[in-house]
Amino acid sequence: MSIPGLGQIPVQAAVSSTRTISLRPAWEWRFQVPAGSSLVLKVLAGTAEKDGVELALRNAYTFSGVRSKILTWHGCELEIEGRCDNDSVAEYLNPIANPATSHINLHARLSDMRVDATRQRREGPRVLIAGPPNSGKTTLAKTLTSYATRQGYQVITVNANPRDGMLSLPGTLSASVFATVMDPEAVDGWGSTPTSGPSTVPVKLPMVFNYGWESAEEDEDLYRELIGRLAGAVSGRLSEDEEVRGSGVIVDGIGVSEDGQIGMELTAHVVDEFSINTVVVIGPASLHKQFVNRFASEKTSLGEPIQVISIDESDGVVKRDEAFSQHSREAVIKEYFFGDAKRTLSPQIQQVDFDNLVIYKLADYSPDEKQSLVLEEPSSLMQHWTLAVMNASVRDSPDVIRAANVMGFVYVADVDEDRRKIKILAPVSGRLGDKPLVWGKWPEPYINLLG
Amino acid sequence: MSSDGDEVAEDYRLALEDLSSNMRFEISNLTVIARENTEHALAIAEVLQQHILKAPPNKKLPALYVMDSIVKNVGTPYTLYFGRTLFKIFMESYAVVDHGVRRKMEEMLKTWKDPVPGSMDTRPVFSHELVRPIENALMKARAASMPQQAQSAIPGRPRSAMFPHRNTPTPPGMRGYPGPAGNFPPQPHPFANGGHPGEPVAGYPGQQPAPYPPPSTLAPYNSTPASFPQAAQGPYGSGLPLPSGISVETLSSDIQNLIVAMRAEFSQNPHDSGAQSRLKALLDLQSVVQHSNLPPDQLELIKNKVTELAAVTIRATLGHSSANSTPIPAPAVPPAMALSVHPPSTSVTPSPVPAAQSAVPVTLDSLLGKGAMAALLSMQSSNSQQNTTPKPPFAGVPIRSPQMNHNEPPKAAAALAPPPSMPAAPASSASSLLDQLRAAGMLPPATPTNVPAPNQAPAVPVMPPSIFPSGLPASIASLLAAHKPDSGRSSADSLASSTGLDFAIKKQFRPESIAALYDDLGPPCTQCGRRFRTDEEGRRKKTAHMDWHFQVHQRSTEAEKRGTHRSWYVDQQDWLKAREAVDAIHDVSSKEESAQASKDSEGPKYILVPDPSSGINNVCPICQERFENKWLDTVQEWVWLDTILVGNRAYHASCRAEATRDRESTPVQSRRTPEPVLGKRKAETGLASPKIRVQKPFM
Ligand SMILES: [Zn+2]
Ligand SMILES: [Zn+2]
């Protein structure tokens, strides 16, 4: 006798912290692991992916301080060990009911474009992901990037949203080629950057600019300038690197308000600079329409039409929880200096005279004040902030400095104003005096890294 | 009723016969089955009703608990079906069971007057109109046996135990069951996948759904006990359309009930544009039904589908909101996927629909809830499997397949549906609402002659009227839409073309797109999940990849001793010149270290043991020794150590090094000045760079 459904429900072990979860195709397991505790996940059978990254069978993946989901296309059995605050299974009647199917379809479409582009030795699709804040743009960017990577494409992914960093600290804008498997355990969900040692997951090489504000609107001029720089570099890489050219670009965009009032113009700037030919709009139809209206009559610099694609927001999208986001940003800063569970890093502590440092501060924005960087004497106000180390000379003008690449970051551990000494944590040993440092407004100092 | 439904019902009946105790596990299984087969809800409800009525007294309570669990955890449409005969089910059972069971039934009855605990829905499990007659009847019975009752009340059992307060019956978390811990432990209901009680599961409404058509609106039924036999014959009874008897009023009233449900949902999530648009769509449908003169058979079909789909709607919408309500702070119901389907501004489709719904984009999903169309299609497919018609889109999708056995590892792509030939429904316009229904197979073609019921109708995908020539596969249509010449394109045009695109992105499921990311890529690396094909190139890549894993393992220990630190980021110049060396080690150690490392890296040369069919020699051509299979723990693979592949020939690396002494030069990097390809700008160059470089690959 076949009883449909019987035997599919594992009895929950009440005491043990290890449990098994069975998912049918297109279902998701959603979970949240608070900062400070960790959860170990194994895929016992079937296939599973996290943000588009396929998880290897029977490997132990450790997650901490994340909210995420495990999606399966073939069904899977997961073994979970450890604490998670909230978890649930999202069941769907069929794959179409899960918006993840539209991500697959979108990828398949981009993949077709990449095949054509590679054959014709021209640029693959340039995709911008747009949508309201916290609508799942970054998750989609990760998923599309990972899907491309899995198929052997080498796509350039760009973070155009300074609120969170990609392979770098919050407040930055960055670009990186993704050719190797992404790190599902990474604190930022993207991966890790080079260190002096090996890495069990291939590192990624970002090129980073320092914007230093939380939102693109706070200093539009600087934002536009840096996006221009970023696009210039990306353009150069596309023309030079044949492996990359056909794969194209994926840009994780800034938040656009649902009425299209906030963020649209800066988004249009991104579209223009990166010659975006595919705009993916997550969220309501009204917003999609705004984008269609905005871009329907425009063409890229390569003369292509701009296609606007609508994607539904996943019902698993989490509305912003400020405390949680803060923890995540904090974890990213910590990981930058100290590494993670898989790889411990040893940063250097330096005592430096005030006079041996050149520190610029991002000026508060005012429409009539053109200069955005002003020299700043070290002060106790800087304590626990991170400063960007700019790839420029201290003799360069503020305008050059602000648009320079970021080499990395230092952390201000302590400022002794009486003795005019500043205690700094740097990733690498060596003099800092010949590189200008920039003190931004974002990320804010949440933590005492040496406390 | 399709034989599919019969099968489900028969299985359900057999499972019920085995049900002899209040095993919460079994009850929850039966609930899950009911939930997963809402398209056969009527059949299941009938089987359960019959079982309750016919079961011997000692087996009635477990069966009643199954009903209780279903109405509390699944709700519509079961609540509706059970509601019709609730009085009969309850009273006839009550009459024959012993005192202890009666007490538990009374406790259960009590919980039906309240909302499901923990649910946001404030409506009772069963409406008061249904529960009150039962209470009255019990009251009368009690009055008749008053002396007896009073006596038993004095010794130990307070009067209130007769109708215990609601803390007794239904434990919080809404998945518990009435009854003392003894024979029905008030433990968390074992829910699918070992989740915790009260955990939300999308698509699993933990709340009592909206008051879908109350019995009073359904003409053939009333709440008198005697009505049950008729129920099986009613319009819901067989799935066969009755030739007549569907009044516009009845249908309208059904839709009205859905509207009420949707309003309730909307009021709970006032910012949910999805609910708003579904509400709007329902109002539009209401107006179509009321103001246009539809032939009876179309009314019939609409009615049947609306009835069936009520379940889907409620599940899709409430399921989501309930999933969101607990785990994660505050998310609202997602915006409908529906709204983003834009009608082409030039709809040429003649339509019987009044002009009332001019500009509002309406899709099946907006009409019937997110995923409704997909659900509908799958429903349709399961109904039409007996037919020799085109392969329905979702036949065999394991989600709907009750036989799927989770004890064996889920099969790969085979588990997914064959390429669906989707009945395309790019909602061409709000004004062709009926066309959409038609497109989805919900309605017969516009000029029906003698229309078969949907259950029997071959599931031929009816192409909706659209801007594309009919008969084009949807995917091609969408491609056409996507690549439409853009000259002089207006915003309206692009809206139109985005409709096809939208369909291709959102409404299609193409298993081959999944396969392209899984099976087509070959088997995964056991360590990181990256997949490699089994052809020669794939094998070569996998060897390099495994070598990379090996080196990382080896060097990690060494790095630990040395101490590692974050490197500076590359500058733009280096970034432009960098090339992603897949399976190479990015390592920014000192020159000596890297020199040492690259020397070391010459050490472990090996290849994966080739497949015999590859034709690769198993004897070294230089020393004539056979290659030895070794298990390499670090890479979890069988390998030939000290072996390299040159073309299709394997050599001992050491033999070959001695024989040739040539080393390949490192790949030459392009030194060209980058020529910008995007936009109008030039790549920036000339920024000062720190003397940090990324080492090129060792191998
Ligand atoms: Zn691997
Ligand atoms: Zn040899």
Closest CA of chain A from B181, distance in Å: 17
Cβ–Cβ < 8 Å for A312, A99: yes
| Residue found by looking up tokens 């425009």 in the block | A298
Residues A120 and A86 in one domain: no
Residue A312 β-bridge partners: none
pLDDT of residue A268: 94
Cβ–Cβ < 8 Å for A429, A348: yes
Last residue of a domain, one of A251, A286, A311: A311
> Which has the higher per-residue pLDDT, A121 or B39?
A121
Residue B286 has pLDDT above 50, yes or no: yes
* Cα torsion A419, A425, A430, A435: sign: negative
Give the mean pLDDT of A326-341.
90
Cβ–Cβ gap A20/B25 under 8 Å? no
| Burial zone of B77 (CB within 10 Å; 0-12 exposed, 13-18 middle, 19+ buried) | buried
Q: List pLDDT tens digits, range A83-126.
A: 887 889 999 989 999 999 999 999 999 999 999 999 999 999 99
Task: Name the percent of chain A lying above pLDDT 70.
Answer: 93
Nearest to A91 among B190, B202, B567 (CB): B202
Determine the angle formed by the axes of helices B491-506 and A285-295, rounding to 10 degrees: 130
Give the mean pLDDT of B137-164.
51
Cβ–Cβ gap A21/B193 under 8 Å? yes
* Cα torsion B36, B41, B47, B50: sign: positive
Residues A28 and A175 in one domain: no
pLDDT of residue B414: 35
Last residue of a domain, one of A59, A94, A129: A94
Residue B355 has pLDDT above 50, yes or no: no
Asked whether residue A188 is domain-assigned, the answer is yes
Residues A138 and A214 in one domain: yes
pLDDT mean across residues, chain A? 89
At B611, the amino acid letter reads D
B407 at interface of A, judged by CB pairs closer than 8 A:
yes
Ligand nearest to the CA of B547: 1
Task: Name the percent of chain B lying above pLDDT 70.
Answer: 38
Which CATH number belongs to the domain containing residue A34 in this structure? 2.60.120.1030
Give the mean pLDDT of A132-151.
95
pLDDT of residue B29: 81
pLDDT band at B249 (very low <50, low <70, confident <90, very high): low
| Residue found by looking up tokens 């307060």 in the block | B165
Which CATH number belongs to the domain containing residue A387 in this structure? 2.40.30.330
pLDDT band at B579 (very low <50, low <70, confident <90, very high): confident
pLDDT of residue B608: 80
* Cβ-Cβ contacts under 8 Å for A373 (sequence gap 6 or more): A360, A361, A362, A363, A398, A399, A401, A402, A438
Cβ–Cβ gap B569/A99 under 8 Å? no
pLDDT of residue B300: 58
In chain A, the number of structural domains is: 3
pLDDT band at B444 (very low <50, low <70, confident <90, very high): very low
Residues A130 and A246 in one domain: yes
> Which has the higher per-residue pLDDT, A417 or B289?
A417
Q: List pLDDT tens digits, range B454-477.
A: 333 333 333 333 333 333 333 323
Q: How much is the CA Rg of chain A, to the nearest whole Å?
A: 23
Helix (H, G, I), strand (E, B) or coil at B402: coil
Cβ–Cβ gap A92/B203 under 8 Å? yes
Residues A304 and A254 in one domain: yes
Q: List pLDDT tens digits, range B491-533.
A: 444 444 556 778 888 888 999 999 999 999 999 999 999 999 9
pLDDT mean across residues, chain B? 58
> What separation in Å is there between the alpha carbon of B552 and the centre of ligand 2?
27
pLDDT of residue B420: 36
> What separation in Å is there between the alpha carbon of B549 and the centre of ligand 1?
6
Give the mean pLDDT of B623-633.
77
Residue A158 has pLDDT above 80, yes or no: yes
Indicate the pTM of the whole model.
0.54
Residue B358 has pLDDT above 60, yes or no: no
| Burial zone of A355 (CB within 10 Å; 0-12 exposed, 13-18 middle, 19+ buried) | exposed
Give the mean pLDDT of A333-341.
91
Residue A344 has pLDDT above 90, yes or no: no
> What separation in Å is there between the alpha carbon of B528 and the centre of ligand 1?
4
Residues A306 and A366 in one domain: no
Gap between the Cα atoms of B441 and B421, Å rounded: 13
pLDDT of residue A425: 93
pLDDT of residue A156: 98
Cβ–Cβ < 8 Å for B325, B200: yes
pLDDT of residue A152: 93
Gap between the Cα atoms of A180 and B530, Å rounded: 9
> What separation in Å is there between the alpha carbon of A405 and the centre of ligand 1?
32
Residue A57 β-bridge partners: A43
Residue A308 β-bridge partners: A279
Nearest to A201 among B405, B508, B528 (CB): B528
Strands of A197-277 (E only): list them: 206-210, 249-255
Residue B607 β-bridge partners: B640
Residues A169 and A288 in one domain: yes
> Which has the higher per-residue pLDDT, B154 or B39?
B39
Task: Name the percent of chain A lying above pLDDT 90.
Answer: 69
Gap between the Cα atoms of A274 and B459, Å rounded: 46
Gap between the Cα atoms of B386 and B407, Å rounded: 28
* Cβ-Cβ contacts under 8 Å for B329 (sequence gap 6 or more): A318, A319, A321
Asked whether residue A447 is domain-assigned, the answer is no
Q: Locate the chain B residue with the closest alpha carbon to A389.
A: B568
Cβ–Cβ gap B398/A75 under 8 Å? yes
Asked whether residue A318 is domain-assigned, the answer is no
pLDDT of residue A50: 97
Range with the poorest average pLDDT among A16-25, A86-95, B151-160: B151-160
Structural domain that includes position A62: 7-94
Size of interface A-B (CB pairs under 8 A): 520
Residues A401 and A298 in one domain: no
Cβ–Cβ gap B521/A301 under 8 Å? no
Give the mean pLDDT of B113-118.
80
Gap between the Cα atoms of B189 and B70, Å rounded: 12
Residues A44 and A174 in one domain: no
Which CATH number belongs to the domain containing residue A140 in this structure? 3.40.50.300
At B670, the amino acid letter reads S
Gap between the Cα atoms of A296 and B486, Å rounded: 9
* Cα torsion B286, B290, B293, B294: sign: positive
CB atoms within 10 A of CB B646: 10
Residues A228 and A139 in one domain: yes
Residues A113 and A243 in one domain: yes
Give the mean pLDDT of B556-574.
83
Half-sphere exposure of B551 (CA within 13 A, CB side): 28
Chain A residues close to B588, C-beta within 8 Å: 194-196
Cβ–Cβ gap B516/A111 under 8 Å? yes
Helices (H), B443-518: 474-482, 491-506, 511-515
Asked whether residue A194 is domain-assigned, the answer is yes
CATH 1.25.40.90 domain position(s) in chain B: 4-141
The b/e string for A318-346 (b: 16+ C-beta within 10 A; e otherwise) is beebeebeebbbbbbbebbbbbbeebebb
> Which has the higher per-residue pLDDT, A330 or B309?
A330
Give the mean pLDDT of B108-129.
83
The b/e string for A282-293 (b: 16+ C-beta within 10 A; e otherwise) is bbbbebbbbbbe
Determine the angle formed by the axes of helices A264-273 and A285-295, rounding to 10 degrees: 50
pLDDT band at B246 (very low <50, low <70, confident <90, very high): low
Cβ–Cβ gap B400/A195 under 8 Å? no
Asked whether residue A445 is domain-assigned, the answer is no
Residues A84 and A111 in one domain: no
Q: List pLDDT tens digits, range A230-279.
A: 999 999 999 999 999 999 999 999 999 988 889 999 999 999 999 999 99
Gap between the Cα atoms of B594 and B693, Å rounded: 12
Q: Locate the chain B residue with the closest alpha carbon to A337.
A: B566
* Cβ-Cβ contacts under 8 Å for A261 (sequence gap 6 or more): none
- According to DSSP, the β-strands at A155-159 and A172-178 are antiparallel
- Tell me which of A30, A105, A345 to substitute to probe the interface with B (most B C-beta atoms closer than 10 Å): A105
CATH number, span B4-141: 1.25.40.90
Range with the poorest average pLDDT among A122-136, A181-195, A366-380, B320-334: B320-334
Give the mean pLDDT of A372-400.
92
Q: Which residues surround ligand 2, an ion (CB under 5 A)?
A: B 620, 622-623, 652, 655
Last residue of a domain, one of A295, A311, A327: A311
Cα-based torsion angle of the residue sequence B72, B73, B75, B79 in order, rounded to the nearest 10 degrees: -40
Give the tokens for residue B486.
């853009």
Cβ–Cβ < 8 Å for B637, B546: yes
> Which has the higher per-residue pLDDT, B559 or B626?
B626
Gap between the Cα atoms of A365 and A360, Å rounded: 15
* Cβ-Cβ contacts under 8 Å for B219 (sequence gap 6 or more): B247, B250
> What separation in Å is there between the alpha carbon of B605 and the centre of ligand 2?
13
* Cβ-Cβ contacts under 8 Å for A269 (sequence gap 6 or more): A224, A227
Q: Which helix (H) or strand (E) holds A240?
A: helix A220-240
Helix (H, G, I), strand (E, B) or coil at B434: helix
Residue A18, annotated as binding a ligand: no
pLDDT of residue B292: 62
pLDDT band at B324 (very low <50, low <70, confident <90, very high): very low
Nearest to B339 among A285, A299, A391 (CB): A285
pLDDT of residue A277: 94
Interface confidence (ipTM) of the complex: 0.92
pLDDT of residue B235: 31
